[in-house]
Amino acid sequence: MDTMLAAVLHGFGDLRLEQVARPQAQETGDVIVRIKSCGICATDYKAIKGIRRNVTFPFIPGHEPSGVVHEVGPGVAHFKPGDEVIVMPTGSCGLCAQCRAGHSHYCEDGFTTGGDGMRQIWPGAFAEYMRTRESCLFHKPAGLSFDAACLSEPLSGAWKGVIQYSEMHVGDDVVIIGVGGIGLLCLMVAKAAGAARLIAIDPSAHARQHALELGATHAVDPLHEDARGRVYEIMREGPDLVVEAAGPIEAVRLAAELRRRGTRWNVFGITTHETFELDGGQTHFLEGRMDASFGTTPLAMSKAIRLMETGLIDIEQIVSHRFPLAQIAEALEVMGRPERNKVVLHP
């Protein structure tokens, strides 16, 4: 039996490097990808640490991969062994009501490789090889590194949230709350799309400095400044768009406090089941619009790849650490520190 090295989660806090069976391409549409790079998402970290509880064990995490086609199954027509590819983590049936409405990431019979959000969870990319379907693959542009390519999925989520769902316009004043990995991507998308004033809010001095280097016009420390007051000093009429990309419930509350009439706000970062209150009458008369965004779609993936391929976004600027899969324990330690941005594994 052919085996491979994989990081297998057996329980919260119990991640083990093991030799496991290498997947085979047996079903129609199957593709086996040799993983070259895989980003560590905050949701992976939360699952491993037990912060996110919707996990079935044993489980191989990792849903931000790029790699090389190793083997193809019956019926695969557009990819062959040796092709360099980007992998979308969600697969859909294309036939259910949600798919036909254009919401493939809501698919009633879909799957996710190494993540969550679907009924079927397939083994992910914290491994040397992974199984996916041809419909989940995109050809990697020749000029794009594997490290850049593996971040197509989080960049696609940023594009989907900021542009497609919250409909950011050229000249909008934008606030990003939380400028870790995903927040920086939202910031870079907003900058590329023509944001006027672009404020980054984060308690980490490291994160704020990096945000300024990547295009933020201002940075605010919510621990030592009146965040709302400072935003309204900079944007006297208030923000057009607020993106919560931090995760803690306090960031969602701050997003709600920053609204003025007509503000659009996107609850993007929080994935835990916590609550916050809204004043019903105020919300009515402010006439703003709340959006949220999770997962990705083929359209969003295509847009992300184009943003990188054309140089509109240099995504490798957010990669702060790289580790071989054998050092995943060290990688997870770095994930828990404020002085990091995107962490990438090399299986």
C-alpha 90/C-alpha 116 separation (Å) is 9
Across all residues in the chain, what is the average pLDDT?
Answer: 96
Residue spans per domain, the chain: 3-150+314-346, 156-292
- Calculate Rg over the CA atoms of the chain: 20
C-alpha 213/C-alpha 7 separation (Å) is 34
Closest to 68 in 3D by CA, of 21, 8, 16, 130: 130
Per residue in 292-347, pLDDT (tens digit) is 999 999 999 999 999 999 999 999 999 999 999 999 999 999 999 888 999 999 99
* pLDDT band, residue 36 (cuts 50/70/90): very high
Q: Does residue 117 surpass a pLDDT of 90?
A: no
What is the pLDDT, as a whole number, of residue 1? Answer: 66
Is 3-150+314-346 assigned to CATH 3.90.180.10?
yes
C-alpha 267/C-alpha 245 separation (Å) is 7
Per residue in 210-232, pLDDT (tens digit) is 999 999 999 999 999 999 999 99
CATH of domain 156-292: 3.40.50.720
Per residue in 46-94, pLDDT (tens digit) is 999 998 888 999 999 999 999 999 999 999 999 999 999 999 999 999 9
What is the pLDDT, as a whole number, of residue 289? Answer: 94
Range 110-113, long-range pairs (CB < 8 A, 24+ positions): 112/63, 113/62, 113/63, 113/65, 113/87, 113/89
The whole-model pTM stands at 0.95
- Give the percent of the chain with pLDDT over 90: 93
- Least-confidence region, from 6-10, 261-265, 280-284: 280-284
> In this structure, are residues 123 and 164 in contact, taking their beta carbons and an 8 Å threshold?
no
